[in-house]
Chains A and B, each alone.
Chain A
């Protein structure tokens, strides 16, 4: 089996539309959460919900990157996807060194072109208007994967995975297995979402899980999640190809585990999450003692954070209190299907730099969880093994394991 490494990174996120900007915000705690503005179709741009904050991308102008025909035929999430994929591809030099048919494009996106769909439905329901002829291609969830393949002329296996908040982690894990097995020599993988539409805001409001203030994962006074948008992409490839072409290596992908709670559509179960973490470790042929960082799903809801903490205790036992943990959702919000990709990017950057990001804005961790939550400042780390958890509604769990890369000799 091939060893698999990360050789390219790209992102459009609420904390930066380049990897260097994302990295700076990650370590300075520069939050991308801010007052909700300009919600399309909502009266005065105001969604009329109990919460006021979201993690929005403000510095993205598609006309700076894409031809008008592509802009017309795509929703914002796909535009994020194309641009982030270009960044990762260019950084890695992917296309100059792999056959187009030996590269996979494996994306996570659960919400598709939601805002385009809502606009058309609004026009239909309010004035019996005809739907724009590009509605279908704008709204299909696989549009991001398709447009990346078209834009970069990649002809290998290309698909979208939709598993709610675990979509991108499932995507990265599957891409990792495809490269490891030799089905392809490289993959562009990650996730993208731009779901912040009026109806989306209102639907989440009704679920009563969004923080009226700001997401504070694992804090004693946590009161919910903060919705977000964005895209993050990784280029992964065989270690052999990366070494042969002297590519930059940011981390090694070593394991992937997944499970289903098979219990409840919203209430998470610790046994499901712990099973996914154990499977990721087994897949990595690693012992729990090797884990030196967990990038938690950490949504900031009472239910998620308590259940995730219980799951971590199930896997790591007495050592749990000594494993540094953070949730970067405090910075970039919860971008649903893309979230796992933003967190995989954060984990990769953390391992590459030997610094673990803090859970920004949290000064009073919930001591009853008995976890080592990183607060205040980033924490230095030596080479280590990290897990990135994604625990989705519907009980779908995905965990990837990444290791610090050190050049031999």
Chain B
């Protein structure tokens, strides 16, 4: 798993106070019991960690950990280019 994925999982694990090794890219927010407040919280931490801005309309479409990682990868790539 690449660095971005590891860091995203670590942020989500910390936000939900669960071990990082229980989370994979296929884990859904529903399985993690991530509510709307958790989602905002996790987004904030991810934005701070990667110095990116997640658009409002992207938040609603995030269903899995993998969605978060792919979104971050895109935003980081956009920032770099």
Please list the residues of chain A having a beta carbon within 8 angstroms of any beta carbon in chain B: 67-69, 72-73, 130, 132-134, 137
Contact with A along B21-61 (1 / 0, CB 8 A): 00000000000000001101101100110000000000000
Not counting A68-B16, A73-B37, A130-B48, a sample of 10 additional A-B residue pairs whose C-beta atoms are within 8 angstroms of each other reads A69-B17, A72-B15, A72-B41, A130-B44, A133-B37, A133-B41, A133-B44, A134-B37, A134-B40, A134-B41
> Which listed residue (B16, B17, B38, B44) contacts A132, Cβ 8 A?
B44
Chain B residue numbers with a CB within 8 Å of A72 are 15, 41
Tell me, rounded to whole Å, the shortest Cβ–Cβ distance linking B28 to chain A.
18
A137 to B37 alpha-carbon distance, docked (Å): 10
A137 to B47 alpha-carbon distance, docked (Å): 20
| Interface pair A68/B17, CB less than 8 Å apart | yes
| B interface bracket (residues with beta carbon within 8 Å of A) | 10 to 19
Tell me, rounded to whole Å, the shortest Cβ–Cβ distance linking A170 to chain B.
31
Can you name the residue of chain B whose Cβ is closest to the Cβ of A131?
Answer: B44
Chain B residue numbers with a CB within 8 Å of A134 are 37, 40-41
Given A67-B17, A68-B17, the answer on whether A133 and B40 have CB atoms closer than 8 Å is yes
A134 to B37 alpha-carbon distance, docked (Å): 8
A68 to B15 alpha-carbon distance, docked (Å): 8
Tell me, rounded to whole Å, the shortest Cβ–Cβ distance linking A249 to chain B.
40
Chain A residue numbers with a CB within 8 Å of B37 are 73, 133-134, 137
Can you name the residue of chain A whose Cβ is closest to the Cβ of B14?
Answer: A68
Tell me, rounded to whole Å, the shortest Cβ–Cβ distance linking B70 to chain A.
22
> Which listed residue (B38, B40, B43, B47) contacts A69, Cβ 8 A?
B38
Residue of B15, B17, B43, B47 ringed by the most chain A CB atoms within 10 A: B17
Tell me, rounded to whole Å, the shortest Cβ–Cβ distance linking A191 to chain B.
26
Q: Closest 6 A-B residue pairs measured CB to CB? A: A68-B17, A133-B40, A133-B44, A133-B41, A134-B41, A132-B44
Chain B residue numbers with a CB within 8 Å of A69 are 16-17, 38
Residue of B41, B43, B47, B48 ringed by the most chain A CB atoms within 10 A: B41
Chain B residue numbers with a CB within 8 Å of A133 are 37, 40-41, 43-44
Tell me, rounded to whole Å, the shortest Cβ–Cβ distance linking B43 to chain A.
8
Pairs across A and B, CB under 8 Å, 15 listed: A68-B17, A69-B17, A69-B38, A72-B15, A130-B44, A130-B47, A130-B48, A132-B44, A133-B37, A133-B40, A133-B44, A134-B37, A134-B40, A134-B41, A137-B37
Tell me, rounded to whole Å, the shortest Cβ–Cβ distance linking A47 to chain B.
28
A56 to B2 alpha-carbon distance, docked (Å): 46
